[in-house]
Structure 1
Amino acid sequence: MAETMEKNIDEIINLAITGGLLAIFILWIFLKKIRLVLSIALAIPISVYIAFNFFYAAGITLNSLSLVGMALAIGMLVDNSVVVLENIYRHASRGSQPDLAVVQGTKEVWRSVFASTLTTVTIFLPFLFADDYLVRILGLNIGVSIISMLLISMMAALVLIPMLTHLTLKRRPHDTPAVFEKVHLHQRLIQIYVLMLKSSLRNPAVTVVGGMVLFFVSLFGALAVSTNTLKEAESREVRVTITMPQGTTLDNTDIAVRTIEERLMDLPEKEEIVTETREATATVKVTLVEKYQKIKDRKLPEIKSDIERRIQNIPQVEYEFQQFSTSSGFSGGGGGASAGMPSGGGMESFMGIGVQQEIVLIKGQDFNLMKAVGEDIQYYLQDLATVQSANLSVQDNRPEVRMDFNTREMGERNVALNSVMSELSSFPTEFSTGVTFKQAEEEYDILIKYEQKVKEEEEENQTRSMSDLQEMDVPSADGARHRLTDLARVYFAFGMGTINRLNQEKQIQITYRFDAETNGSKPLLEAARAEVDNLVASLSIPAGVAVEVQHEENQFKEFYFLIAAAFILIYMILAAVFESLSTPFVLLFSIPLAGIGSFLAILITGNSLI
Structure 2
Amino acid sequence: VKNAVDRVPSFPTGMEPLVVSKQEQIRSTINFALSGENIPLLTLKKIARQIENDIRAMEGISQIEISGYPEEEIEIAVEENKLLAYNLSFTSVAQAVSKANIIVTGGRLKTDAEEFLIRANNKSYYADELTQIIVASNSDGTLIRLGDVAEIRDRFSETPNGSYINGNIAVNVNINSTNTEDLLSTSDKIKDYIKTYNAGRENLQIQILSDQSILLNERTQLLVENALQGMLLVLIFLSLFLNTRLAFWVAFGLPIAFLGMFIFAPMFNVTINVLSLFGMIIVIGILVDDGIVIAENIYQHYEKGKSPYKAALDGVLEVIPPVVSAIITTVLAFSLFLFLDSRIGEFFGEVSVVVILTLVISLIEALIILPAHLAHSKALSKHRKEPKTLVAKTFAKLRAINKLGDTMMQYMRDRLYAPVIEFTLKNRFLTLALFIAALTLTVGSIGGGVVRTSFFPNIASDRVQVTLTMPNGTNEKITDSIISMIELKSKIVEQELNEKYLKGTGKTLFVNTIKTLGNGSSRASLTMNMLPGEERPDAIRANIVSSRLAELVGPVIGAESLVFGSGNNFGGSPVSVSFLSNNIDELKAAKNELKQILLSNALLKDVTDNDPAGIKEITLQLKDNGYALGLDLQYLISQVRSGFFGVQAQRFQRGQDEIRVWVRYNKDERSSITQLEDMKINLPNGDRVPLKEIAYYTIERGEVSINHLDGRREIQVSADIKDTQNTSATEIMSDLRENIVPQLQAKYPTISASYEGQNREASKLSASLASAGIPILILIYMTIAFTFRSFSQPVLLILLVPLSITGVAWGHWIHNFPLNILSVLGIIAL
The verdict on a shared fold, with TM-score over 0.5 as the criterion, is yes
Query: In structure 2, do the counterparts of structure 1 residues 345 and 499 end up closer, same or farther at CA, with 3 Å as the change threshold?
Result: farther
Q: Is the 8 A contact 2:275 2:351 kept in 1?
A: yes
Q: Are residues 1:12 and 2:219 paired?
A: yes
Structure 1 segment 22-101 matched on structure 2, within 5 A: 22-32=229-239, 35-101=245-311
Query: In structure 2, do the counterparts of structure 1 residues 541 and 590 end up closer, same or farther at CA, with 3 Å as the change threshold?
Result: closer
1:193 to 395, 413, 423: 413
2:431 to 210, 213, 216: 210
Amino acid at match of 2:661: E
How far has the Cα of 1:430 moved from its partner? 10
Amino acid at match of 1:254: D
1:275 to 493, 498, 515: 515
Q: Is the 8 A contact 2:615 2:704 kept in 1?
A: yes
In structure 1, how many angstroms separate the alpha carbons of the residues matched to 2:383 and 2:662?
A: 96
Q: Is the 8 A contact 1:239 1:322 kept in 2?
A: yes
How far has the Cα of 1:148 moved from its partner? 1.1
In structure 1, how many angstroms separate the alpha carbons of the residues matched to 2:336 and 2:702?
A: 49
Match of 1:520 in 2: 726
Query: In structure 2, do the counterparts of structure 1 residues 53 and 232 end up closer, same or farther at CA, with 3 Å as the change threshold?
Result: closer
Match of 1:494 in 2: 701
Higher-strand-fraction structure: 2
Query: In structure 2, do the counterparts of structure 1 residues 313 and 122 end up closer, same or farther at CA, with 3 Å as the change threshold?
Result: closer
Any idea what the Cα deviations from partners look like across 1:357-387, whole Å, max 9, x if unmatched? 353x333224345324433443455445665
Q: Are residues 1:234 and 2:460 paired?
A: yes
In structure 1, how many angstroms separate the alpha carbons of the residues matched to 2:681 and 2:324?
A: 83
Q: Is the 8 A contact 1:13 1:71 kept in 2?
A: no
How far has the Cα of 1:602 moved from its partner? 1.4
Q: Are residues 1:428 and 2:645 paired?
A: yes
Any idea what the Cα deviations from partners look like across 1:195-217, whole Å, max 9, x if unmatched? 23321453314378437625742
Q: Is the 8 A contact 2:374 2:380 kept in 1?
A: no
Q: Is the 8 A contact 1:214 1:596 kept in 2?
A: no
How far has the Cα of 1:231 moved from its partner? 5.0
Q: Is the 8 A contact 1:302 1:516 kept in 2?
A: no
Match of 2:149 in 1: none
1:143 to 352, 377, 385: 352
In structure 2, how many angstroms separate the alpha carbons of the residues matched to 1:265 and 1:197?
A: 61
How many residues are paired up? 562
Match of 1:509 in 2: 716
Q: Is the 8 A contact 2:299 2:380 kept in 1?
A: no
In structure 1, how many angstroms separate the alpha carbons of the residues matched to 2:264 and 2:813?
A: 39
Match of 1:435 in 2: none
1:399 to 593, 616, 619: 616
Q: Is the 8 A contact 1:392 1:509 kept in 2?
A: yes
Q: Is the 8 A contact 1:126 1:565 kept in 2?
A: no
In structure 1, how many angstroms separate the alpha carbons of the residues matched to 2:320 and 2:213?
A: 40
Query: In structure 2, do the counterparts of structure 1 residues 269 and 285 end up closer, same or farther at CA, with 3 Å as the change threshold?
Result: farther
Q: Is the 8 A contact 1:452 1:460 kept in 2?
A: no
Query: In structure 2, do the counterparts of structure 1 residues 567 and 200 end up closer, same or farther at CA, with 3 Å as the change threshold?
Result: farther
In structure 2, how many angstroms separate the alpha carbons of the residues matched to 1:314 and 1:284?
A: 15
Any idea what the Cα deviations from partners look like across 1:507-559, whole Å, max 9, x if unmatched? 22233456549x83579956993799359727973564456788982444236
Query: In structure 2, do the counterparts of structure 1 residues 576 and 251 end up closer, same or farther at CA, with 3 Å as the change threshold?
Result: same
Structure 1 segment 109-124 matched on structure 2, within 5 A: 109-124=319-334
Match of 1:284 in 2: 526
- Of stretches 30-39 and 11-20 in structure 1, the one that deviates more from structure 2 is 30-39
SS at match of 1:105: helix
Match of 2:366 in 1: 157
SS at match of 2:715: strand
How far has the Cα of 1:570 moved from its partner? 1.4
Higher-Rg member (1/2): 2
Normalised to the residue count of structure 2, the TM-score between the two structures is 0.58
Structure 1 segment 238-277 matched on structure 2, within 5 A: 238-267=464-493, 268-269=496-497, 271-272=509-510, 273-277=513-517
Amino acid at match of 1:193: R
- Of stretches 137-146 and 291-300 in structure 1, the one that deviates more from structure 2 is 291-300
Query: In structure 2, do the counterparts of structure 1 residues 122 and 498 end up closer, same or farther at CA, with 3 Å as the change threshold?
Result: same
SS at match of 1:495: strand
Q: Is the 8 A contact 2:516 2:524 kept in 1?
A: yes
Q: Are residues 1:308 and 2:515 paired?
A: no
SS at match of 1:226: coil
Query: In structure 2, do the counterparts of structure 1 residues 447 and 36 end up closer, same or farther at CA, with 3 Å as the change threshold?
Result: same
Match of 1:317 in 2: 559
Query: In structure 2, do the counterparts of structure 1 residues 171 and 35 end up closer, same or farther at CA, with 3 Å as the change threshold?
Result: closer
Query: In structure 2, do the counterparts of structure 1 residues 461 and 37 end up closer, same or farther at CA, with 3 Å as the change threshold?
Result: farther
CA RMSD of aligned residues (A): 4.5
Query: In structure 2, do the counterparts of structure 1 residues 585 and 494 end up closer, same or farther at CA, with 3 Å as the change threshold?
Result: closer
Query: In structure 2, do the counterparts of structure 1 residues 35 and 514 end up closer, same or farther at CA, with 3 Å as the change threshold?
Result: closer
Normalised to the residue count of structure 1, the TM-score between the two structures is 0.77
Structure 1 segment 97-108 matched on structure 2, within 5 A: 97-108=307-318
In structure 1, how many angstroms separate the alpha carbons of the residues matched to 2:581 and 2:567?
A: 34
In structure 2, how many angstroms separate the alpha carbons of the residues matched to 1:12 and 1:64?
A: 7
In structure 2, how many angstroms separate the alpha carbons of the residues matched to 1:127 and 1:21?
A: 28
In structure 2, how many angstroms separate the alpha carbons of the residues matched to 1:296 and 1:77?
A: 33
How far has the Cα of 1:122 moved from its partner? 1.0
Query: In structure 2, do the counterparts of structure 1 residues 417 and 160 end up closer, same or farther at CA, with 3 Å as the change threshold?
Result: same
Query: In structure 2, do the counterparts of structure 1 residues 252 and 21 end up closer, same or farther at CA, with 3 Å as the change threshold?
Result: same
Match of 1:441 in 2: none
In structure 1, how many angstroms separate the alpha carbons of the residues matched to 2:640 and 2:452?
A: 60
In structure 2, how many angstroms separate the alpha carbons of the residues matched to 1:171 and 1:380?
A: 73
Q: Is the 8 A contact 2:219 2:274 kept in 1?
A: yes
Structure 1 segment 198-597 matched on structure 2, within 5 A: 198-203=418-423, 204-206=425-427, 209-210=430-431, 213-214=434-435, 216-217=437-438, 220-221=441-442, 223=446, 224=448, 225-229=450-454, 231-267=457-493, 268-269=496-497, 271-272=509-510, 273-278=513-518, 279-288=521-530, 300-321=542-563, 324-325=566-567, 344-346=569-571, 356-359=574-577, 361-383=578-600, 388=605, 390-404=607-621, 413=630, 417=634, 421=638, 424=641, 428=645, 450-451=660-661, 464-465=670-671, 467=675, 471=679, 485=691, 493-512=700-719, 516=723, 520=726, 525=731, 529=735, 533=739, 537=743, 541-542=747-748, 544-546=750-752, 553=759, 554-555=762-763, 556-558=765-767, 560-561=769-770, 562-585=772-795, 587-588=797-798, 590-592=800-802, 594-597=804-807
In structure 2, how many angstroms separate the alpha carbons of the residues matched to 1:592 and 1:372?
A: 45
In structure 1, how many angstroms separate the alpha carbons of the residues matched to 2:285 and 2:713?
A: 52
Any idea what the Cα deviations from partners look like across 1:129-185, whole Å, max 9, x if unmatched? 33x232432453111111111111111111111111112148946589xx9774469
SS at match of 1:95: coil
Any idea what the Cα deviations from partners look like across 1:239-280, whole Å, max 9, x if unmatched? 111111221112212222233334444322373454323522
Amino acid at match of 1:187: T
How far has the Cα of 1:400 moved from its partner? 3.2
SS at match of 1:397: strand
